[in-house]
Each structure stands twice: as C-alpha cells, then as structure tokens.
Structure 1
Amino acid sequence: MTVEKIDTLVIGAGQAGVAMSEHLSNLDVPHLVLERDRIAEKWRTARWDSLVANGPAWHDRFPGLEFEDVDADAFAPKERVADYFNDYAKKFNAPIRTGVEVKNVVRNADQPGFTVETSEGTIIANRVVSATGPFQHPVIPPIAPKDDNIHQIHSAGYRNPEQLPEGAVLVVGAGSSGAQIADELQRAGKKVYLSVGPHDRPPRSYRNRDFCWWLGVLGEWDAEAMKPGTEHVTIAVSGAYGGQTVDFRRLANEGMTLVGLTKAFNNGSVTFQSDLVDNLNRGDDNYLELLDAADAYIERNGLDLPEEPEARTRFPDADCITNPIVELNLAEAGITSIIWATGFATDYSWLNVNAFDDKGKPAHQRGVSTEPGVYFVGLPWLSRRGSTFIWGVWHDAKHIADHIATQRKYLAYRDSSQR
C-alpha cells in the first residue's frame, strides 16, 4: 500500500479546521484536512432544529466573507452557518478530504514527524493539528436514573418538542443550550422544570449595542484566563426569536418551574441543591455588572447611545423562587422526559503522543503543544475568552499557522558551506 506524505495534517473540518487551512494556504504550507463526515457536520446534525448562532452575523463570521443573505444584526440559522463554512472552504480551494476517519497518530521513531493511520490508509505528516473541538462526546452524569419509563436524551440528541412523549420535561443544565431548549419546550405548551446551576447571564443587547460589541470594546473577549472559581460557570445567551436576553425570572413568571442544581435520583424522586436563589442572584449580578461597565464606557467616551432604564427592571419572584423545590416525585409531577444539557467531553484516544497533562487535557501554550509538531485549535480559552467564537478561532488558527511557517523556515535553513 502506498504511504501518502504531507507537511501538515489537520484533523477536523469544522470552523477550526477551515480557518487553519486558510492560514496555512496563505503561508504556502503544504497541508491536508481530514474530516470523517462533512464540512461543519455538527452544525447540521448535532444541534436542534431551531438553533441559530448565538452571535449576530456581523460578529460570528470570518473576516474574509460576510453572510450576504443574513442581516448583519440577525442570527444565522444552523444550516446557514454550515453552508457558510462550506462556501468559505471553496473560496480558497481548501484541500479538505471528507469521509476519512483518523484512527491513530504516533510519533515516528526513526524519521521526523508522525505516522497517521486512517480509514483510507497511512499518512506520514511532519506536523499534526487537532481541530476536532471540545464538543465530541455528550456527557450524561452518572446520577441519571435507571428508569425505562423516563425518556432521557442529551441536548445533542434533542431536535424539537414533537420528538418527546406527552408529559412534563426536566431540563438539567441552564447554559445556552439548556435555557434555549427549555424556552422552546415551554412555548410549545410543555410543562418545564429547569435545573439552574451557576451561570453568567449577559444582556442580549444594551443601549443599542449587542453584548458581543460590549465584550469587545470592554476588552472581555481578550481576557486570557478565567477568573478564579468560574471554571464551572456556564453562559446563558441566545439568538433565538430575534435575540432576547435569557432571564430566568421572566421564564418563571411565564410558567416555567426553576429548581436548583440537580443532586440525585432515588426511588422515583429527584432532589435538588438548595442553591437556586444564590445562582439566580449571581447571574443577576453578572448581568448588572456588564450594564454598569457599559454605562461607564459610554460616559467615559462621550458616546451618544440611548438610555435604557428598563433594562434594570427585575421581574418579581415566582413561587418556585420564593419557595424552592428541593425534592420532586417524577410521576406526581408528570415528568416523562429528561433532557441533559450537561456538556461534552473530548476524546483524544486517537492521538497517542506526549501532548497531554496528568488529567488527560491538552498541554499547550496558545495551541502549541508540549509535543513538538502537535497543535490544538478550537478549544475554549485556547488563547482568550473569545477562542470558541467563530472569529476567535480564526485568530487562534493564524497564530498556529505562523508558528508552523516559522518552524519550516528553520528546517529549510542551509549554512553558507552547504549553499
């Protein structure tokens, strides 16, 4: 069997892989992108039907191509986002090979680079870039009840309200996915219980500017590390229904039952932490802190932006907040479904190199790993807070491509006697 050779091999053709390919192309780095499915496949098949981008079209894009058929301040539907990356790859004739799964990567012992075993044969690559992202395997926690009478799915498997059986729904997790799914189910007439943990809750917009703009001018997107103690804090933001602020108190006033962090299931009942009020208050504090920072920025820079005092109006506390539920009998509550919006895990079982810490997480500095020649792109906080946004991954990919190009120059050096 013929062994294919390439300078740089990129694994994954989502937003990270496409961005990586563009920058490598611009630097004349010979490379190949392998994708086991289609370009941006997860935007098409691993999201619910009504999902739209969480950022407006002017923000959630690469610099080289706009959404010509989506208003700049609107939120692109998921299929349109997937088409965008397909169009972008065509724009520079990206060398993407779809339908090829990478099974194993090891460092060569007797020659430079790595041997890569794929479903279509063997490739020798000088460098390997993992662009598989953080959302690889849905995680359902071990507390999930072993009850065949309850329909249980991860948010990655949720598509629309019609796929669920009759009855109430418990949504566990109130980040962007959980909050949006719970809202959609309630609008569809479902009785919804939403388990709310620690979260940030920015305004969708404030004083005629989207929160993406505010985080930009306030320097928040460029923050290089999480604040201590916020590692498990999700962000609740949505572009659904034209873009609205996620307000859990509003949802409760509209009939949704909020509960605290899900604790355990036992004998047909579920128990919750008594932290609902604290979680809501901290989310409100986060919301108000951004409003205060925005007001100060406007005053400091003399901007003429309309005041918005109604943004500080707080909905009254519904009964589920003043009298939090700490235990619930699933049958008595009519709960027939549980949706686990509990995040994802990564899987690097195919990448057998010395590029991970003792907890199995990628060990890197801005995507340049501890294993020479191995790189990561598309991970949260790769270089900054904005790394997982479309524009952020584009800039991270540029840094990594520059690093690769520099290494190639060193390796191409010949001293004067050789010349």
Structure 2
Amino acid sequence: MAHHETEVLVVGGGQAGVAMSEHLGARGIGHLVLERDRIAERWRTGRWDSLVANGPAWHDRFPGLEFSGVDPDGFASKDQVADYFAAYAEKIAAPVRCGVEVRRVRKHVGRPGFRVETSEGTVDARHVVAATGPFQKPAVPPVVPRDAGLLQVHSSSYRNPEQLPAGAVLVVGAGSSGVQIADELRRSGRTVYLSVGPHDRPPRRYRGRDFCWWLGVLNKWDAVAPPRGAEHVTIAVSGADGGRTVDFRALAAGGITLVGMTRAFADGRMRFAADLRDNIAGGDAGYLAMLDEADAYVARNGLDLPEEPEARAFGPEPDCVLDPLTELDVATAGVTSIVWATGFVSDYGWLEVDAFDEAGRPQHARGVSTEPGVYFLGLPWQSRRGSSFIWGVWHDAAYVADHIMIQRSYLAYPGVADPLRPRRPSTGAARPDHDTACTVTTTGAA
C-alpha cells in the first residue's frame, strides 16, 4: 500500500470501525478501514483474562448478528466479543486492513481532503473518521512514585492474580473494572483494599428484567448529557458470575477492606479521603431512585412483573465504612501491588487538524467535528448515554454516515470537482477496497 486513494478513511477496526464500515457500505460510499493490530484487539489483549461483557448478549450487539454460543441473557467473554466483531466484519465484507498504523493526518493545502501517513505508505481521503474509541491511553494518577517499591499496573495491563507478586493488593477505582478485579483477587486468597470514589450503582436485575432493559424503557439510554456533577462518575455494574448487582457491603463482608478515594502517598503511607461513607450512600441513593422509577413504570403500564421487596434491603454497614481508614502503612499491611482501575484518556496526537479544545478533547456535535471532513465515533456521550456501548456506537455510526452522504450531495453540485468521489453514485454496497481485507484469526465461536 505505497499509496492509496479512498473517499472515507476509517481509523480503527474495533466496534466503532466495524459499525462505521457497515453504514458506509450500505450507502454506497467507498472506504477503507485501517487497524494497527487485529479487529477488536483491545477486547483480546487489553482486558483481563476473566472479563465478560457488562451487558447481556441480547442487548450488547449489533442488529445484524446475534452472538453464537451465548445465552441471550448471558454475558459474552472478552474473546467471544472479539470474535463477534471479526465475524461481523466478515459478514459485511468490511474493507479492513490490519497491521497498518496511522501515524499522521493533515489537511491538503489548496484542495479538499487529507493526506494520511501510515506504516505502509500514504492515503488520500476526502473524509476521515477517528474510530479509535475512548480507551486509548491508560490514565494513572501521579500519586505513587515508581521507585516506591510497589508493583503498579493499570487495569488494562492486569491479566490475573498470578501476575502479581505475593502480598496484599490495593485496587484504586470502584467502577466495573475495579470491582471485578478486586473480587477476583479476594477470591484467589489475597488481602484486598478497594478505594471507592463517587459512583453509580444500578441493580443488575430488578423484577425479572436486566438493568439494560430498564434503562431502555425509562428512556435513560437517550439522555444527551450526564447529570450535573456526575460527568466523571463511574458505573459499578458487572456481568461476572452470570451477572450480579454490585454490593459494596457484600464485598466488605467477603473480606475486602473498603477505603475512600486515594489522595496521596508519602513516607510509605497511602492516604485516603474521608469520603467513603458519603460515596457508598450516594451509590445507594441512585440505586433506590432507579427502583422507584421502575416500580412507577410497572404500575403506570399495568405490567405483570414480580415484586421484589428484598432488593431494597441493605445489609449492615461494615466496620470499614463505620470507621474508615484514612491512611495505610503499605509495608505493615503487606501491600505489594497497586492496580489502577482509573480509566483512560484520549490520544489524538496523530490527528493534526483543528478539531480539539485547549485540553485536547474533540470538539464535535454528535461526532461531526469542527474540522470539515473529520468525524469521531465511539466517544462517551457522543450523542447520548448509550454512545460508547456496543449497540449505541452502531446507531451513532448511522448518523455520521448520513452526514457524509449529505456532504457528498453538496460536492456533486455542478462545477464542483472532487477526485475522491465517484462521478455516479453507487446503488449498492461499495467495496472498492475489498482486496485489502485482513485475515482474521478467531479464538472460538462467535
């Protein structure tokens, strides 16, 4: 691929890139998808061994294909999810080229479109879709020095308990990842401390329905912005062990010591904020509010769903909440490792266009950037709450593809020459780059 021309270049071959390819192809828009590794590589190698999807298989999928070998109410393993996207890309004949890294994107001078520099040559594209998703660069707060004598790993590099040296573990972050990792470590026999910040703690199931169903019928998936003050609040929900409601009291009763937000480290001591009880209470309040909304919906619509009064019964507050630790001598406690389940930050250093604010965040409206011809896909809250979920990114991709179609119509105006657009619109799926499709090796049934 010394040089290539395409109407749309999609950067990233994960769930966002595959969804974008389907919608572009259905509209007859020529395109090429470049993926630096394999399709859905983050699901294969950027997750811990026991990870499963946080949504049931009937919900967390694209409309055109069901999961094979997974109960609709079950939770697909990480490898099953990766295989699903590889199978989907094959199903739609997505023009994906694997093993090609995009290193630089710049606007052409004096003509529309972009010059894209890759590890295998250059590409000229009329439009560029950044479909690299929100999980680009691990975010590790600069709290503990690297020479502190503790093994520090981000959740994206954690694989299993055997990976860590013998000793106790501090897990920082109580969203989906932190909770599951802490519980796995505790089950392996480790002493575990879990640092808990503000969080949203929905019920996994209530009155016979998964919380994904409740978010749907209550129109919560369609919220266009997080509640004020909750922009960075994590969601504590898990599909592990068949899917259970995250209960911090139960985690403490099982042997995990809960602490507040991690604040500082000095003289061998980790210091925590005195906010643990408030954080637990805040999660409980959101949980109960959702049960109230669900009950009101059932009554209003006359649904025959079983009552579940026990869902409102909380166990006693554990000692670690009643009398929380504010500091921990890591040597005395035997802590040898820290797992940072603290999320990710974006990295668009390769995209050299005027589409970012002072903090480097994409400036866009529903994925349409402030730089004409550049689009984003797979961002949290891109158009609504569901945007960064598997099914949500598929719908966002449809909107971006429609916008590209509208731009095509303007460029088709007589007298406007666009060398990267076919002179006659295609009436079927456009696969001009089918010869670049990568070979996909799956790890199991998809």
TM (norm. structure 2) is: 0.92
Counterpart of 1:383 in structure 2 is 383
Q: Could you give the per-residue CA deviations for residues 48-88 of structure 1, whole angstroms, max 9, x where no partner exists?
A: 00000000000000000001311000000000000000000
Counterpart of 1:45 in structure 2 is 45
Instruction: After TM superposition, list the pairs within 5 Å mapping 1:11-410 onto structure 2.
Output: 11-410=11-410
Q: How far is 1:363 from its partner? A: 0.3
- Contact 1:31–1:95 (Cα < 8 Å) also in 2: yes
Counterpart of 1:412 in structure 2 is 412
- Alignment partners' CA distance in 1, 2:67 and 2:104: 37
1:159 is aligned with what amino acid?
R
Q: How far is 1:144 from its partner? A: 1.9
Q: How far is 1:413 from its partner? A: 2.5
SS of corresponding position for 1:82: helix
- Alignment partners' CA distance in 2, 1:142 and 1:92: 44
- Contact 1:204–1:237 (Cα < 8 Å) also in 2: yes
Q: How far is 1:358 from its partner? A: 2.0
SS of corresponding position for 1:391: helix
- Contact 2:258–2:320 (Cα < 8 Å) also in 1: yes
Q: Could you give the per-residue CA deviations for residues 120-160 of structure 1, whole angstroms, max 9, x where no partner exists?
A: 00111000000001111111111123335211111111001
Q: How far is 1:2 from its partner? A: 5.2
- Alignment partners' CA distance in 1, 2:137 and 2:356: 18
Q: Could you give the per-residue CA deviations for residues 145-176 of structure 1, whole angstroms, max 9, x where no partner exists?
A: 33352111111110011111111100001011
Using the TM superposition, name which of 56-65 and 336-345 deviates more. Answer: 336-345
- Contact 1:224–1:381 (Cα < 8 Å) also in 2: yes
2:368 is aligned with what amino acid?
V
Q: How far is 1:110 from its partner? A: 2.0
- Contact 1:138–1:345 (Cα < 8 Å) also in 2: yes
1:279 is aligned with what amino acid?
N
- Contact 2:362–2:369 (Cα < 8 Å) also in 1: yes
SS of corresponding position for 1:353: coil
- State the 4+ residue runs in structure 1 displaced beyond 4 angstroms: none
1:303 is aligned with what amino acid?
L
Long gaps (5+) in structure 2: 416-446
How many residues get paired? 416
- Alignment partners' CA distance in 1, 2:338 and 2:29: 48
1:246 is aligned with what amino acid?
V
Long gaps (5+) in structure 1: none
- Alignment partners' CA distance in 2, 1:226 and 1:347: 23
1:5 matches 2:8: no
2:118 is aligned with what amino acid?
T
SS of corresponding position for 2:333: coil
- Contact 1:145–1:266 (Cα < 8 Å) also in 2: no
Q: How far is 1:111 from its partner? A: 1.7
Using the TM superposition, name which of 348-357 and 143-152 deviates more. Answer: 143-152
1:326 is aligned with what amino acid?
T
Counterpart of 2:434 in structure 1 is none
- Contact 1:174–1:195 (Cα < 8 Å) also in 2: yes
1:31 is aligned with what amino acid?
H
SS of corresponding position for 1:338: strand
SS of corresponding position for 2:8: strand
Q: How far is 1:414 from its partner? A: 2.5
Using the TM superposition, name which of 140-149 and 5-14 deviates more. Answer: 140-149
- Alignment partners' CA distance in 1, 2:11 and 2:232: 28
Kindly report the root-mean-square deviation, in angstroms, between the aligned alpha carbons of the 2 structures.
1.2
- Alignment partners' CA distance in 1, 2:147 and 2:306: 53
SS of corresponding position for 2:156: helix
1:36 is aligned with what amino acid?
R
- Alignment partners' CA distance in 2, 1:167 and 1:82: 33
- Alignment partners' CA distance in 1, 2:79 and 2:146: 35
- Contact 2:114–2:127 (Cα < 8 Å) also in 1: yes
- Alignment partners' CA distance in 2, 1:82 and 1:11: 18
- Contact 1:253–1:317 (Cα < 8 Å) also in 2: no
1:322 is aligned with what amino acid?
L
- Alignment partners' CA distance in 2, 1:387 and 1:58: 17
SS of corresponding position for 2:270: strand
Counterpart of 2:439 in structure 1 is none
Q: How far is 1:340 from its partner? A: 0.6
- Contact 2:172–2:262 (Cα < 8 Å) also in 1: yes
- Alignment partners' CA distance in 2, 1:6 and 1:354: 22
- Alignment partners' CA distance in 1, 2:80 and 2:146: 38
- Alignment partners' CA distance in 1, 2:208 and 2:329: 45
- Alignment partners' CA distance in 2, 1:402 and 1:270: 51
- Contact 2:257–2:320 (Cα < 8 Å) also in 1: yes
1:171 is aligned with what amino acid?
V
Q: Could you give the per-residue CA deviations for residues 323-381 of structure 1, whole angstroms, max 9, x where no partner exists?
A: 11001100111111110111111111100001111221100000000000000000000
Using the TM superposition, name which of 196-205 and 313-322 deviates more. Answer: 313-322
- Alignment partners' CA distance in 1, 2:188 and 2:358: 46
- Alignment partners' CA distance in 2, 1:252 and 1:96: 46
SS of corresponding position for 1:9: strand
- Contact 2:2–2:120 (Cα < 8 Å) also in 1: no
- Alignment partners' CA distance in 2, 1:263 and 1:149: 18
